[in-house]
Amino acid sequence: MISVENLSYAFKIGKKGKENIVPVLHDINLHVAQGEIVAVVGRSGSGKSTLLNLISGFIQPEVGSIQLNGTQVSGLSESKWAEFRLNNLGFIFQSFQLIPSMTAYENVEFPLVLQGIGEKERKERTSEMLKRVGLDPYQAHYPGELSGGQQQRVSIARALILNPPLILADEPTGSLDSENEKELLTFIKELNRKFGITFLMITHDHEVASIAHRKVEIIDGYLQEGRKLHEVQR
């Protein structure tokens, strides 16, 4: 599902021709199988968010290659990347990234609109997805009218609405209290078990990482393969 080979990355700071090179990632190799939950753990500044941005195509690698769901994505144009993300990836963000002027229903429906799905099918799929995440009674609520846990569930519903094989989660529990964090992690495990969705989670929290099948750690830009935590249920 994810194959990262010999990936290195450095930020360039300063004027062109006089840049300071700041290495961030060093010769990263990461392989995630279909149906796995893999957690990438690291302190702030370790390079874990840069790795996620490279895997999701928001920044381009200078050295190394990335393959997602059988497609070599390294070097794709911006328009091709946007199309690939829409059809293959779902995203869960720490800050939810919901559109405040849209209801829960409209936020979840939006990817279907972008894909050109007809209104009848959009209504059926959006309503079903909101039921799946337990938010059927809150379809008409705006993000500001929902709790943090409910907003994150809207975010998950939006991530799942196009049935992507891979979900990328950036500190998914970072804005949640302990009770909502526990509920969210249980829900992620349930989605993985029932539907075989692959999750790559970025987190600084080893407790959050404990739900993963496997944990890897980034220390100063170097990836350290961790132990297997749980078996993948097939």
Average pLDDT, the chain: 91
CB contact set of 159 (below 8 Å; sequence gap of 6+): 90, 91, 92, 167
Portion of the chain with pLDDT greater than 90, in percent: 68
Provide the 10 A C-beta neighbour count for residue 197: 21
pLDDT in tens, 161-205: 999 999 999 998 888 888 888 888 998 999 899 889 999 999 999
Interval 61-75: pLDDT, tens: 889 999 999 999 988
Mean pLDDT (whole number) for 97-122: 95
Please give the order of strands across the beta sheet that includes 2-13.
20-32, 2-13, 63-68, 71-72
Phi, then psi, of 199 in degrees rounded to 5: -120, 130
Greater confidence (62 vs 38) lies with 38
Dist. CA 88–CA 127, nearest whole Å: 21
Q: Tell me the domain boundaries of the chain.
A: 2-98+166-228
Tell me the pLDDT band of 158, cut-offs 50, 70 and 90.
Answer: very high
Mean pLDDT calculated for residue range 37-43: 94
CA distance 230 to 211: 8
Three-class HEC string of 134-154: CCHHHCCCCHHHCCHHHHHHH
What kind of architecture, by CATH, is found in domain 2-98+166-228? 3-Layer(aba) Sandwich (3.40)
pLDDT, residue 50, reads: 94
Instruction: Grade residue 19 by pLDDT with cuts at 50, 70 and 90.
Output: confident
CA distance 230 to 234: 12
Which pLDDT value is given to residue 221? 93
Residue 208 one-letter amino acid: V
Q: What is the structure's pLDDT at 12?
A: 84
pLDDT on residue 59: 92
